[in-house]
């Protein structure tokens, strides 16, 4: 059918085959409007028109259009495409492509950050709660953003990626369990400290062991991440609403306990 149309049209001109907008649109997946627009901005004009003004695209035009579509699939803007295809000129293709790739990578990084925030936020929000008051919600949003900004200052992108993988391996349940265990553990250690219990005492040993296990579950044993965690606790004033001054004392207490256990074991 398509062929018979072209046959008739081409018989009239006794020349090379041509295509109408609709045909071209169907072939390339673009819309007719897009093709009109490309002509409007001087990116692709049909080489001929019928007497009635209907656009007739020749083989050359189709070739050019294919190039345009290819470059569009690579995410170039129409302006950039026009520059690439300008009157037979060559251009530093590899450089252009690499620059563009760099832009895409940059966009992906910011999307990545965004996604982390959204995931952290979803994690914080009650899955069951149908209607969350706006105040509570925005409170959570702001805390998550503040937290993620601080986190991004202390961890390198590679470390963040590693933490991400670890979180996926552990699964949401396990993470919730660990987060739930921390407060009681901290409370236990605080009590022993305030009571002045010797770090070598067996009760403290048990708490310290569990403490190190939970830390290890977070860091995955990566020494770089351990250092970053340490820096964060040393330099910030409070994290998750926990006063880091007191926390530092507790960490010292726990590490004394661990050390004394290593001496004996």
Partner DNA sequence: ATACGCCCTCACGCCGCGTGAGGTTCAAGG
Partner DNA sequence: CCTTGAACCTCACGCGGCGTGAGGGCGTAT
CA atoms within 13 A on the CB side of 250: 22
Distance between CA atoms of 102 and 262, rounded to whole angstroms? 49
83 belongs to the binding site for a copy of itself (CB under 8 A): no
Question: Binding segment for DNA among 24-32, 135-143, 153-161, 209-217 (CB under 7 A)?
Answer: 24-32
252 belongs to the binding site for a copy of itself (CB under 8 A): no
73 belongs to the binding site for DNA (CB under 7 A): no
CA atoms within 13 A on the CB side of 49: 7
Residues from 206 through 245 that contact a copy of itself (CB under 8 A): none
48 in Cβ contact with 56 (< 8 Å)? yes
5 belongs to the binding site for DNA (CB under 7 A): yes
104 belongs to the binding site for a copy of itself (CB under 8 A): yes
Least Å distance, CB 128 to a copy of itself, is 9
- Closest among 72, 49, 73, 51 to 61, alpha carbons compared: 49
Residue from the set 8, 86, 168, 264 that interacts with DNA by CB under 7 A: 8
130 belongs to the binding site for a copy of itself (CB under 8 A): yes
Least Å distance, CB 239 to DNA, is 31
φ and ψ at 238, to 5 degrees?
Answer: -155, 145
Two tokens at 4? 């018979």
Residue from the set 70, 156, 235, 238 that interacts with a copy of itself by CB under 8 A: 70
Q: Which does 23 bind (CB under 5 to 8 A by kind): a copy of itself, DNA, none?
A: DNA
- Closest among 121, 122, 109 to 152, alpha carbons compared: 109
By beta-carbon proximity to DNA, the closer residue of 21 and 208 is 21
Burial status of residue 192 (CB atoms within 10 A of its CB: 0-12, 13-18, 19 or more): buried
Least Å distance, CB 246 to a copy of itself, is 29
Distance between CA atoms of 54 and 46, rounded to whole angstroms? 10
Angle between helix 157-195 and 202-219 (nearest 10): 170
3-state secondary structure of 57: strand
Least Å distance, CB 134 to DNA, is 19
Question: Binding segment for DNA among 30-38, 92-100, 168-176, 196-204 (CB under 7 A)?
Answer: 30-38
Residues at the interface with a copy of itself (CB under 8 A): 66-67, 70-71, 73-75, 84-85, 88-94, 97-98, 100-101, 104-105, 107-108, 111-112, 114-115, 117-119, 121-122, 125-127, 129-134, 137-138, 140-142, 145
């Amino acid at each position: 059918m398509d062929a018979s149309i072209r046959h008739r049209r081409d018989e009239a001109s006794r020349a090379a085959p041509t295509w109408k907008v609709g045909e071209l649109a169907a072939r390339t997946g673009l819309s007719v409007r897009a093709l009109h627009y490309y002509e409007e901005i001087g990116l692709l004009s049909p080489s001929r028109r019928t007497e009635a003004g209907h656009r007739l695209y020749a083989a050359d035009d189709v070739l050019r259009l294919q190039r345009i579509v290819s470059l569009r699939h690579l995410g170039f803007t129409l302006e950039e495409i026009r520059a690439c295809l300008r009157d037979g000129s060559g251009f530093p293709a590899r450089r252009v492509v690499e620059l563009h790739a760099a832009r895409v990578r940059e966009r992906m990084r910011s999307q990545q950050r965004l996604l982390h925030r959204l995931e952290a936020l979803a994690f914080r929000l009650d899955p069951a709660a149908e209607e969350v008051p706006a105040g509570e919600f925005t409170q959570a949003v702001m805390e998550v953003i503040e937290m993620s900004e601080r986190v991004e200052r202390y961890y390198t992108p590679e470390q963040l990626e590693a933490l991400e993988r670890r979180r996926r391996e552990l699964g949401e349940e396990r993470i919730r369990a660990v987060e739930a265990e921390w407060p009681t553990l901290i409370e236990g250690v605080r009590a022993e400290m305030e009571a002045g219990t010797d770090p070598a005492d067996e009760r403290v040993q048990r708490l310290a062991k569990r403490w190190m296990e939970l830390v290890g579950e977070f860091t995955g044993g990566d020494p770089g991440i351990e250092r970053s965690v340490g820096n964060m606790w040393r330099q910030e004033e409070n994290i998750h609403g926990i006063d880091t001054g007191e926390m530092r004392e507790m960490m010292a207490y726990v590490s004394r306990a661990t050390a004394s256990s290593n001496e004996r074991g």
